[in-house]
Amino acid sequence: MNRLTYILYFICISLSLSGCKKSLDLKNAGAFDPASVWNDPQLANAYLTNLYATTLPTGWPVNSGGNADELSGNLPEDAVTTNNTLFKSWPYDLIRNINILLTEIEKGSLPAGTKEKMKGQAYFLRAWVYFNVVKLYGGVPILEQPLGVKDDLSAGRNSTKACFDFIEADLNKAINALPDQYIGGDRGRIDKAASLAFLGRVMLYKASPQFHPSNPYNNTDWPKAYEVNKMAKEQLAGMGFGLNPDYVGIWAKNNKGNKEAVMSVLFMAPNRMNGRSENQCRPLSESIDASGGDQPVWEMVAAYPMKDGLQPGISLKYPYELQTFWKDRDPRFYASVVYNGSLYELSRIAGRRQYTANGVASIDDVFGGGEQGDFHRTGFFPRKGMDPTLLKSEVTKNETDWIEIRYAEVLLNFAEAANETGKSNEALEVLIQIRKRAGIEAGADQLYGLSGSTGTAQIRNAIYFERRIEFIYEGQRFNELRRTRRLNEIDGMRKNGLLATLKSDKVAEDGKTFKLLPEDFTYKIQPLFSNGTNLMSTPERYYFFPIPRVEIEKNPKLLQNKGWDGGTFDPTLE
């Protein structure tokens, strides 16, 4: 090893697992002498740390909901092609580096227990990488040995079933090798809890309509999905995992590593910050450099139920009217969405309210972007995961962890599998738990607004709906629509925002005295401005994306997916 490589190793070692800011250049990893790396626990750990840094999510998935009906953004017609980069991934460099650890570590003299734990984490990482490409394409080449740096990937595609089997096998190896939980200084490492939860997610996808278009709900993969998710739910509960007592507190600075956080990417000063990307997601008037991320559209805002769990216009207890749209909503609405006139005490400004109306709000924050012509303003901003105590000059110092897998997801994965295997009562119990924690009223029947959800189809739709509300900004919506084959719900959609206008009998302010309330404005639903089209296009073929054309040109053994460039490969499990 050269001196620079050693320096990079020890930079990583000196930082926490999640705080390593330098990524080791592994292009020559295949030439490493096992005596130099796999006999030394610090060097081996540095190699594994780099795999984390290059494989797992780097933070909150800002604006991913723009591909669906959640946030501002758009997928215009023909947004995806075989030769552009949208929804493309071909991570065989990462797979190679993981395979190096799995094969080379056995040549070293590390203690057997150390080897086992490191391999367990590597098996998880390999499963993670494969699953995320299978979600995109279906079956891809399975490689268990590292190719040389100059070797071409000339393998053909394995079947989608073979890939799922491979992912499941790797996760079971991880489950058997890892401790229940890593805590203290090791928190953030992959453990048995994360592996169990992730296997549940994988099995839910395998059984899903995405992979079973002609038999979406009665196929033979659902019983296995139920078995695995039941095991994950019960074993994690036995380890102490559960729902955080309140929804807001899941992301509180003083509640890191709470019992809902099954798998987290850690952020902490001074080495790793801005996990929530406040500089992108705050209103520009209280940010620096960038703004516009994670702005919910009207369709998302309108979806929130009322306090009794019933939909707006359905609830008799809480009448709904556009001009008072913010009143008496599901408490998760107030925890997640900033609306015109709502209290939003950014930068420690007591009593600060956020305005979006032209003539009142800062020109940077108004609906549609005002005179600046920035067309990303929807009339709403995100609140979930934000840190209002940061000054404008400190917006890159957010330390909110990104929780990739929450216990709430484990529960809802279980509920969906239970419902599809004839156990709708078990699914309903989960929905009640989620809504009770959210703060929705129980009602006389103690069903939290779910009294109409009695049959399998009704429970299914209730689960889909609950996921939409519960996981706003968490990067799930677009893939959920793909997984459940509901892209038709957003195909041809035009997104809207909410235009606020100060009432004629109210005196305009400069937006800094904060006396104007939401009811001092009138509201109008209005299409979002756009430099191009405001028409979403999500055709049937988007359930599976095309293998990048450049990879097929390099490897003629790769077959393209059906629906793309005359492809013949069937990515489903049918």
In this prediction, residue 279 carries a pLDDT of 86
pLDDT at 485 over 90: yes
In this prediction, residue 364 carries a pLDDT of 86
Listed in sequence order, the residues at least 6 apart from 296 whose beta carbon sits closer than 8 Å to its beta carbon are 65, 70, 71, 72, 336, 337, 378, 380, 382, 472
How buried is residue 85: exposed, middle or buried, by Cβ count under 10 Å (0-12/13-18/19+)? Answer: exposed
Lowest mean pLDDT among 16-30, 175-189, 436-450: 16-30
CA 459 distance to own-chain centroid? 23
In this prediction, residue 343 carries a pLDDT of 98
Tokens of 287: 């940010």
Contact assessment for residue 398 and residue 387, using Cβ atoms and an 8 Å cutoff: yes
Contact assessment for residue 360 and residue 516, using Cβ atoms and an 8 Å cutoff: yes
| ω into 34 cis (within 30 of 0) | no
Token look-up 């295949």 returns 30
Contact assessment for residue 378 and residue 72, using Cβ atoms and an 8 Å cutoff: yes
pLDDT at 128 over 70: yes
Lowest mean pLDDT among 116-125, 144-153, 517-526, 548-557: 144-153
Token look-up 């009322």 returns 306
**Nearest-angstrom CA–CA distance, 372 and 529:** 12
In this prediction, residue 368 carries a pLDDT of 82
Tokens of 555: 């490897």
In this prediction, residue 25 carries a pLDDT of 35
pLDDT at 226 over 60: yes
Mean pLDDT of the chain: 91
In this prediction, residue 371 carries a pLDDT of 46
**Nearest-angstrom CA–CA distance, 70 and 489:** 12
Q: Give the DSSP letter of residue 570.
A: -
Contact assessment for residue 228 and residue 199, using Cβ atoms and an 8 Å cutoff: yes
In this prediction, residue 129 carries a pLDDT of 98
Lowest mean pLDDT among 82-86, 235-239, 450-454, 527-531: 527-531
**Residue 275's pLDDT band (cuts 50, 70, 90):** confident
Q: Give the DSSP letter of residue 67.
A: G
**Residue 297's pLDDT band (cuts 50, 70, 90):** very high
In this prediction, residue 26 carries a pLDDT of 37
Tokens of 137: 């394409």
In this prediction, residue 454 carries a pLDDT of 86
In this prediction, residue 31 carries a pLDDT of 47
Helix (H) or strand (E) holding 206: helix 192-207
CA proximity to 196, closest of 178, 220, 219: 178
**Residue 149's pLDDT band (cuts 50, 70, 90):** low
CA proximity to 179, closest of 114, 129, 258, 227: 114
Contact assessment for residue 498 and residue 526, using Cβ atoms and an 8 Å cutoff: yes
Contact assessment for residue 492 and residue 533, using Cβ atoms and an 8 Å cutoff: no
Q: Long-range pairs for 475-481 at CB < 8 Å and ≥24 separation? A: 475/60, 475/61, 475/64, 475/65, 477/64, 477/65, 477/67, 477/68, 477/69, 477/70, 478/64, 478/65, 478/67, 478/68, 478/70, 479/135, 481/68, 481/538
In this prediction, residue 292 carries a pLDDT of 79
User: Which ranges of 439-514 would DSSP assign to H, the alpha helix?
Assistant: 456-470, 477-483
User: Which ranges of 407-485 would DSSP assign to H, the alpha helix?
Assistant: 407-419, 424-438, 456-470, 477-483
Token look-up 């309108």 returns 302
Listed in sequence order, the residues at least 6 apart from 354 whose beta carbon sits closer than 8 Å to its beta carbon are 283, 338, 339, 340, 341, 342, 344, 346, 361, 365, 381
**Nearest-angstrom CA–CA distance, 199 and 413:** 11
pLDDT at 353 over 60: yes
Contact assessment for residue 562 and residue 132, using Cβ atoms and an 8 Å cutoff: no
Contact assessment for residue 307 and residue 331, using Cβ atoms and an 8 Å cutoff: yes
**Nearest-angstrom CA–CA distance, 91 and 384:** 31
CA 94 distance to own-chain centroid? 21
> Which amino acid is present at 537?
S
Task: Give DSSP secondary structure letters for 167-191.
Answer: HHHHHHHHHHHS-S---GGGBTB--
Token look-up 């992959």 returns 190
**Nearest-angstrom CA–CA distance, 166 and 158:** 10
Could you report the per-residue pLDDT of 506-537, keeping only the tens digit for each? 998 777 789 999 999 999 999 987 766 789 99
In this prediction, residue 453 carries a pLDDT of 84
Tokens of 177: 């090798």
Tokens of 63: 């604006």
**Nearest-angstrom CA–CA distance, 78 and 98:** 35
State the pTM of this model. 0.93
pLDDT at 476 over 90: yes
Residue positions counted in the chain: 574
pLDDT at 7 over 70: no
Could you report the per-residue pLDDT of 13-54, keeping only the tens digit for each? 333 333 333 323 334 444 456 668 999 999 999 999 999 999
**Nearest-angstrom CA–CA distance, 294 and 439:** 24
In this prediction, residue 390 carries a pLDDT of 95
Task: Give DSSP secondary structure letters for 131-148.
Answer: HHHHHHHS------SPPP
**Nearest-angstrom CA–CA distance, 406 and 403:** 6
Query: What phi, psi does 433 have (nearest 5°)?
Result: -60, -45
**Nearest-angstrom CA–CA distance, 402 and 61:** 9
pLDDT at 153 over 80: no
Give the 3-state secondary structure of residue 312.
coil
